[in-house]
């Protein structure tokens, strides 16, 4: 009976235009005229207009940077410095999302389960305990954390929430996914670093899941996941002394293109369904090419992919919260009773996670 009752989102106050980030990166990487043109082409093709960050630097001249170095001779922030900024900001952003999510439906003291999701910062005590203390949640709260799963982690969290609700009828589960991706900007100009600086942003999304079967809620029907190990080197996320290092290969859209039809077919077959049974598509906008490939291979309409493209345009790729931003857009649309929503996201592995929802 597990249902998504509410989704709320939160973003840092610094909203950077993609064109301003481009100029910052061109100078930060000290590119020559030819390389500047190449990077400008990639930014212009990104489908992104705005990204949010806890760092003010990306809209400023490099000489006015406050977190990142002002010139190439200065030392880049250490992993300790990056985690200090994460600790300062992640909890506040999470609480904003959670508060707005539960406000119309329940009180903080009635939350029975907390699932925290992040791959851009880690500590112990961690984000879960920080939220508990700041929001004065029950000291007997069930809590668990999903770390380092990347962009598909929110689907894994929803799966866990369903397990909880299926076993505990009175459960009030809050899931919060918070990522501060922009903390991990890297000094070296490589294809992977350029791709990361082009796509990733900061944000948080919270979800309330319970067994209320409220009229406006979405019922969690089923999940399906699959790992394509041939892509394990094309998407990776590792901790180093210089921060977290992202590997993001240009082959990812091709890998998804090869596998997406079979993945979706297998997921729908579990419920005796086909593509024609799905009017709403909740696609993780890992990048413009990924959305393009999925639209093409599944013969989706522009109207069906508009939610993913809107979030990509307005926020960029925030890793794990991103698909929840997309789902919030769909929930706010005019979904009719018994209509289906199919969601899909991708992450390190190469892991492909899906979910199927039905409007109550």
pLDDT bin (cut points 50, 70, 90) of residue 234 is low
pLDDT in the model for residue 252 = 82
Tokens (6 digits) for 126: 């961690």
The predicted-structure confidence for 63-98, as pLDDT tens digits, reads as follows 666 787 766 666 788 889 999 999 999 999 999 999
Mean pLDDT of the chain: 92
pLDDT in the model for residue 189 = 85
**Least confidently predicted of 36-50, 102-116, 251-265, 313-327:** 251-265
Quick check: 258 pLDDT over 90? Answer: no
Tokens (6 digits) for 238: 């590792």
pLDDT bin (cut points 50, 70, 90) of residue 308 is very high
**Least confidently predicted of 151-160, 249-258, 290-299:** 249-258
pLDDT bin (cut points 50, 70, 90) of residue 33 is very high
Please report, for residues 68, 76, 198, the alpha-carbon distance to residue 72 in angstroms, rounded to integers and kept in the order given: 10, 9, 20
pLDDT in the model for residue 143 = 96
Rg (CA), the chain: 20
Query: Any residues with CB less than 8 A from the CB of 75 and at least 6 apart, and which?
Result: 69
pTM exceeding the 0.85 threshold for the entire prediction: yes
Tokens (6 digits) for 187: 């000094």
The predicted-structure confidence for 168-196, as pLDDT tens digits, reads as follows 999 999 999 999 999 988 888 887 888 88
Mean pLDDT of 284-288: 95
Which percentage of the chain shows pLDDT scores above 90? 72
pLDDT bin (cut points 50, 70, 90) of residue 246 is confident
| 211 touches 2 (CB < 8 A) | yes
pLDDT in the model for residue 59 = 83
Domains within the chain, CATH numbers bracketed: 218-359 (3.40.47.10)
Which percentage of the chain shows pLDDT scores above 70? 95
């Amino acid at each position: 009976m597990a249902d998504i009752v509410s989704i709320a989102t939160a973003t840092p106050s610094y909203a950077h235009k993609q064109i301003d980030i481009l100029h910052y990166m061109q100078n930060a990487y000290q590119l020559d005229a030819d390389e500047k043109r190449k990077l400008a082409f990639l930014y212009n093709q990104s489908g992104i207009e705005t990204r949010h960050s806890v760092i003010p630097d990306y809209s400023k001249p490099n000489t006015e940077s406050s977190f990142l170095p002002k010139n190439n001779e200065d030392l880049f922030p250490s992993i300790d410095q990056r985690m200090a900024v994460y600790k300062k900001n992640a909890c506040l952003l999470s609480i904003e999302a959670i508060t707005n999510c539960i406000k119309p439906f329940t009180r903080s003291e009635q939350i029975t389960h907390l699932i925290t999701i992040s791959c851009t910062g880690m500590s112990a005590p961690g984000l879960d305990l920080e939220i508990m203390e700041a929001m004065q949640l029950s000291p007997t709260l069930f809590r668990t954390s999903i770390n380092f799963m990347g962009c598909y982690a929110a689907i894994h969290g929803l799966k866990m929430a369903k397990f909880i609700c299926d076993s505990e009828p009175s459960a009030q589960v809050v899931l919060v996914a918070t990522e501060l991706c922009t903390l991990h900007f890297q000094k070296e100009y490589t294809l992977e670093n350029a791709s990361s600086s082009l796509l990733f942003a900061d944000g948080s999304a919270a979800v309330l899941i319970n067994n209320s079967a409220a009229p406006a809620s979405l019922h969690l029907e089923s999940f399906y996941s699959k790992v394509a190990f041939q892509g394990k080197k094309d998407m990776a996320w590792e901790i180093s002394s210089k921060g977290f290092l992202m590997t993001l290969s240009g082959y990812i859209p091709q890998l998804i293109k090869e596998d997406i039809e079979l993945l979706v077919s297998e997921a729908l077959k579990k419920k005796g369904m086909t593509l024609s049974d799905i009017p709403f598509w909740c696609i993780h906008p890992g990048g413009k090419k990924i959305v393009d490939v999925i639209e093409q291979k599944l013969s989706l309409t522009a109207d069906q992919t508009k939610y993913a493209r809107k979030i990509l345009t307005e926020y960029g790729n925030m890793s794990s919260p991103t698909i929840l931003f997309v789902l919030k857009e769909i929930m706010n649309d005019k979904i009719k009773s018994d209509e289906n929503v199919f969601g899909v996201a991708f992450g390190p592995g190469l892991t492909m996670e899906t979910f199927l929802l039905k409007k109550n």
